[in-house]
């Protein structure tokens, strides 16, 4: 569940430290967190962005709502004519060069894609139609591959990995994504000019403990939180693997979270502060399994005391619709991994095995897709629907062959009473920004990990 909130827009750059144990780890963690958070910047970021050919989106009233197709299905016909009434906002989303941040965006800066946005509304709901270009359809999310040199299973990560000489050893592997960010009640002063980066505090150093080895590493990244206790952003994140398999966006929010000492301010809807400084958060509804789980477990290598990470569930047919495992698969189609040996051979609960040394299609031997890599994936996620307030935004995504067509639907006013959702029902202007993750032309990345953004956008309603 926690892994869905990885909107930290950063490439991890670990620096190995010595192993620490017990209380020493906690002390180091607290010191690292304190030091890192005092290095946040707030209002002084300079962004170099591509200009748009307009900044205002006009939502047009309709008495005929668009038909909301099943996930991944093409739509057209009457709906295509219906959308002709909605003006098109054309913008170019660009991965920014954030002044003073020389590491987080390396390898992505300047990548851009054209985006079109349209909107309709009726008496109950608001609808958005978004398109953007991507060099290929990317639905994988942290897929499993086998490293034949180390004889270990590993996952393609959210950031590029490098060797000690600075050479790329593995490109990022994440799903194409689109994000809407809404300035709730106009509360965030920096949002109009900086978009999501008005809440993205650069150069934060934290320390992370590997639960398998006890190894402590420092990581320089970004911490998302707003700049005051009364500031909130409403965020809809359309991970295309979730859209294709569950027809939903993730609905979450960003708040102050105690400011500098509070760390990250990204929370699932219906999650509330329990007070304290920094505050802790918990959900006021049951969210167990919402959105799915990480397809990862730790097993002891047979005949040794060594612990390694391997998938939990696999399909021996290697037939993963939309590159994903579904929660329903765990009741029949998928088989549980119960053991692993020193050669990486997986034993399944039905007694069958997967030998990655014999089946080389699992072996990652290059640095990215199309570069001599494996052709067989094991998904890194087990997908389930979002529930409660997290599932407020329905989504339909269709791959056109050269990019994505995404339709979103949400109630004008949700049942939210915690000011975690933007309220469209008064039909007043709304400030918003966008973030896009896509594959740039000529890139071998599975998907550009850093968000291309466009800020300074405004939506008005044609009544």
Instruction: Decide which of 61 and 357 is more confident.
Output: 61
From 453, 422, 318, select the one nearest 379 (Cα to Cα): 318
Q: How far is CA 112 from CA 98, 221, 441, 442, in A?
A: 15, 22, 9, 12
Query: Residue 89 in contact with residue 57, Cβ under 8 Å?
Result: yes
Mean pLDDT to the nearest integer, 173-192: 92
pLDDT band at 222 (very low <50, low <70, confident <90, very high): low
- What phi and psi, each to the nearest 5 degrees, are found at residue 356? -70, -15
pLDDT value at residue 207: 58
Structure tokens at 311: 């998938």
Mean pLDDT to the nearest integer, 237-241: 94
Is pLDDT above 70 for 260? no
Instruction: Decide which of 277 and 79 is more confident.
Output: 79
DSSP 182-206: EEGGG--TTHHHHGGGGSEEEEEEE
Query: Residue 153 in contact with residue 344, Cβ under 8 Å?
Result: yes
Is pLDDT above 90 for 217? no
pLDDT value at residue 201: 72
DSSP state of 52: P
From 457, 454, 449, 455, select the one nearest 94 (Cα to Cα): 454
pLDDT value at residue 331: 92
Is pLDDT above 70 for 463? yes
Is pLDDT above 90 for 423? yes
Query: Residue 193 in contact with residue 456, Cβ under 8 Å?
Result: yes
Query: HSE (CB half, 13 Å, CA atoms) of 206?
Result: 17
Please tell me the distance from the alpha carbon of residue 109 to that of residue 107, in angstroms, as a whole number: 6
Peptide linkage before 278 cis (omega within 30 of 0): yes
Query: Residue 314 in contact with residue 378, Cβ under 8 Å?
Result: yes
Express each pLDDT in 86-106 by its tens digit: 999 999 998 887 665 545 566
DSSP state of 282: E
| 158-162, 195-199, 217-221: the lowest-pLDDT one | 217-221
Compute and round to an integer the Cα radius of gyration of the chain: 22
| 58-67, 143-152, 443-452: the lowest-pLDDT one | 443-452
Question: If residue 386 lies in a helix (H) or strand (E), which one and from where to where?
Answer: none
Structure tokens at 387: 């529930």
Mean pLDDT, the chain, whole residue set:
80
Query: Residue 197 in contact with residue 44, Cβ under 8 Å?
Result: no
Instruction: Decide which of 275 and 445 is more confident.
Output: 275
Is pLDDT above 50 for 171? yes
Is pLDDT above 50 for 270? yes
Structure tokens at 70: 């099943």
Express each pLDDT in 285-299 by its tens digit: 666 668 888 999 999
Query: Residue 406 in contact with residue 175, Cβ under 8 Å?
Result: no
pLDDT value at residue 19: 34
**Structural domains in the chain?**
2-139+175-277+385-462 (2.60.40.1190), 293-382 (no CATH)
Query: Residue 201 in contact with residue 102, Cβ under 8 Å?
Result: no
pLDDT value at residue 358: 86
Query: Residue 451 in contact with residue 175, Cβ under 8 Å?
Result: no
Please tell me the distance from the alpha carbon of residue 133 to that of residue 71, in angstroms, as a whole number: 19
pLDDT value at residue 13: 34
Query: CA 407: distance to chain centroid?
Result: 18
Spatial CB neighbours of 31, under 8 Å, sequence gap ≥ 6: none
Helix (H, G, I), strand (E, B) or coil at 178: strand
pLDDT value at residue 210: 67
Largest CA distance in the chain: 71
DSSP state of 25: H
pLDDT value at residue 212: 65
Query: Residue 386 in contact with residue 393, Cβ under 8 Å?
Result: no
């Amino acid at each position: 569940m926690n892994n869905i909130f990885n909107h930290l827009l950063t490439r991890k750059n670990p620096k190995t430290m010595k192993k620490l144990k017990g209380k020493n780890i906690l002390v180091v963690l607290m010191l690292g967190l304190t030091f890192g958070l005092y290095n946040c910047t707030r209002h002084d970021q300079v962004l170099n962005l591509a200009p748009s050919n307009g900044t205002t989106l006009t939502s047009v009233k309709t008495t005929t709502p668009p038909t909301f197709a099943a996930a991944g299905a093409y739509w057209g016909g009457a709906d295509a004519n219906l959308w002709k009434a909605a003006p098109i906002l054309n913008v170019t989303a660009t991965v920014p060069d954030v002044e003073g941040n020389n590491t987080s965006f390396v390898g992505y800066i300047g990548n851009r894609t054209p985006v079109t946005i349209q909107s309709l509304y009726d008496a109950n709901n608001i609808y958005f139609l978004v398109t953007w270009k991507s060099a290929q359809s990317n639905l994988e999310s942290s897929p499993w591959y086998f490293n034949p040199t180390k004889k270990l299973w590993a996952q393609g990560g959210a950031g590029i990995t490098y060797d000690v000489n600075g050479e790329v050893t593995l490109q990022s592997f994440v799903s194409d994504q689109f994000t809407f960010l809404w300035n709730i009640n106009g509360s965030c002063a920096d949002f109009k000019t900086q978009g999501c980066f008005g809440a993205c505090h650069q150069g934060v150093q934290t320390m992370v403990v590997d639960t398998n080895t006890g190894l402590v590493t420092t990581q320089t990244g970004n911490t998302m939180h707003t700049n005051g206790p009364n500031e909130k952003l409403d965020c809809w994140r359309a991970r295309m693997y979730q859209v294709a398999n569950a027809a939903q966006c993730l609905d979450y929010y960003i708040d102050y979270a105690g400011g500098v000492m509070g760390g990250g301010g990204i929370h699932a809807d219906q999650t509330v502060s329990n007070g304290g400084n920094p505050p802790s958060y918990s959900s006021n509804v049951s969210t167990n399994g919402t959105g799915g789980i990480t397809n990862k477990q730790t097993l002891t290598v047979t005949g040794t005391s060594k612990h390694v990470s391997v998938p939990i569930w696999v399909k021996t047919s290697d037939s993963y619709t939309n590159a994903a495992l579904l929660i329903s698969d765990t009741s029949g189609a998928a088989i549980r991994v119960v053991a692993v040996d020193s050669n990486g051979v997986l034993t399944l609960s039905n007694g069958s095995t997967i030998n990655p040394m014999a089946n080389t299609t699992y072996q990652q031997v290059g640095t990215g897709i199309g570069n001599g890599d494996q052709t067989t994936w094991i998904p890194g996620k087990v997908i389930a629907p979002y529930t409660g307030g997290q599932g407020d935004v329905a989504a339909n995504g269709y791959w056109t062959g050269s990019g994505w067509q995404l339709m979103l639907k949400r109630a004008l006013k949700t049942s939210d009473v915690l000011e975690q959702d933007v309220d469209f029902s008064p039909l007043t202007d709304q400030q918003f920004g966008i973030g896009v993750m896509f594959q740039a032309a000529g890139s071998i990345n599975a998907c550009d990990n850093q968000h291309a953004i466009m800020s300074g956008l405004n939506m008005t309603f044609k009544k």
